[in-house]
A = this chain, B = another copy of it.
Amino acid sequence: MTRTGVWLIGARGNVGTMAIVGARAIATGHATTAGLVTERPPCTTLKLPGFDDLVFGGHDITTTGISSRAQLLAANGTPPSSTVEAVSDELERIDDRIRTGTITGSGSAIEALAEQSINGESLSSMVEQLRRTYRVFVEKHDLGRLVVVNVASTEQPLEQPARFDSRATIERAIETDDRTLPASAVYAYAALLDGHPYINFTPSTGASLGGLQELAIERNVPHMGRDGKTGETLVKSALAPLFAGRNLRVTSWSGHNILGNNDGRVLEDETHQAGKLESKGGVLEELLDGTFHNQVRIDYAPPLGDWKTAWDDIRFSGFLDTEMSMRFTWDGSDSALAAPLVLDLVRLIAHADEHGEGGPQPQLASFFKSPLGVDEHDLSRQFSMLERYVERHAEEHP
């Protein structure tokens, strides 16, 4: 397939770095394809961009380079040091393509993290700058397509997002330099306007605004979001259907998350946490009958580094109102869980773009906590949606 650009907003973060290291390690034969949805049936029958066809670039607001970040991750357990070493030259080369990002309208916790940022004279000039950056990258690397992916830290939630329900209101905001429009939406606007597929892997606003969805339809650009489903919520979406299907009435579902990376640090800030908790808790509201005590906690525990642990306590009433319970713990590397999904999404949205499938992509619902335009939260049924998409393509393009 044609060369595909992958433009990561937050490229120097843990997820961005892990995705880049992994893609290069797979491309050069230094790693297996474990954890990649696109590398097992049904997706293996699709014609997707190869790992060696992915060309990485991106924006960031920190100055620690990808190579250093990768070494820090390795010291924390994953990726293996030997893998980082095997691709370290390429990491340096990719890091040279990272441009300084913007944090306009992102909130104080993001501001506290920023070691560098651009703010533009106006939103209009910033949009022009972003478009130019994307275009230059495409030209320089002779790319057939550019996928823009948001893997940056979580912004504060946007108040009254309905203000931006049409393309017109968004463009007016840009013209009038309305700085409540957050960075994630600005990045998405610049991408969609020029036909670059867009993925929002975070709970930030991104392309979820009505006006951006309108723009994507107009330009027939595929996009999807939001908030990658990597751990506790992934398990919730697999387990909750069990309780619902068996008419076991959940009375209390209480989740406690501890993690030690920047994500945890930003989420310590209650404003930033709000959006995250909504998508984490919301899955259960959709999947379970009736009312129940639904609580999610996220706590920052620095010694855990990039690792996270979720502990969930579930109480339910069964036959003759018998009170029973289930608990689980989930221990994983935040980035090692997220990064392969980023690569899967890039490959699958490139495929959609190739086939002229613009707008939100429901077949990608299983990847997200809050899949745009999809009400189905049952993980197995979301997997079935992807399976049916693949089958349809197999029939149409045998």
Contacts and interface: CB of A to CB of B under 8 A. Distances in A.
A331 interface: yes
Interface stretch (A157-165, A210-218, A293-301): A293-301
Interface string A330-352: 11110011011000000000000
Interface in A214-259: 234-235, 238-239, 241-242, 244-249, 251-252, 254, 256, 258
B239 A235 contact: yes
A32 B50 CA distance: 45
Which size bracket describes the interface of A in this complex? 35 or more
Interface string A305-324: 00001010101011111101
Contacts of A77: 322
A281 interface: no
A105 B93 CA distance: 63
Contacts of A383: 241, 245
Given A34-B319, A80-B320, A247-B35, A380 B313 contact: no
A302 B294 CA distance: 11
A22 B319 CA distance: 8
A317 B247 contact: no
Interface of A: 18, 21-22, 25, 31-37, 39-40, 77-81, 83, 234-235, 238-239, 241-242, 244-249, 251-252, 254, 256, 258, 289, 292-293, 295, 297, 299, 301-304, 309, 311, 313, 315, 317-322, 324-333, 336-337, 339-340, 366, 378-381, 383-384
20 contacts: A34-B249, A34-B319, A35-B247, A35-B320, A39-B247, A78-B322, A83-B320, A235-B242, A238-B242, A241-B383, A245-B379, A245-B380, A252-B302, A297-B297, A304-B315, A318-B333, A319-B336, A319-B337, A324-B337, A326-B329
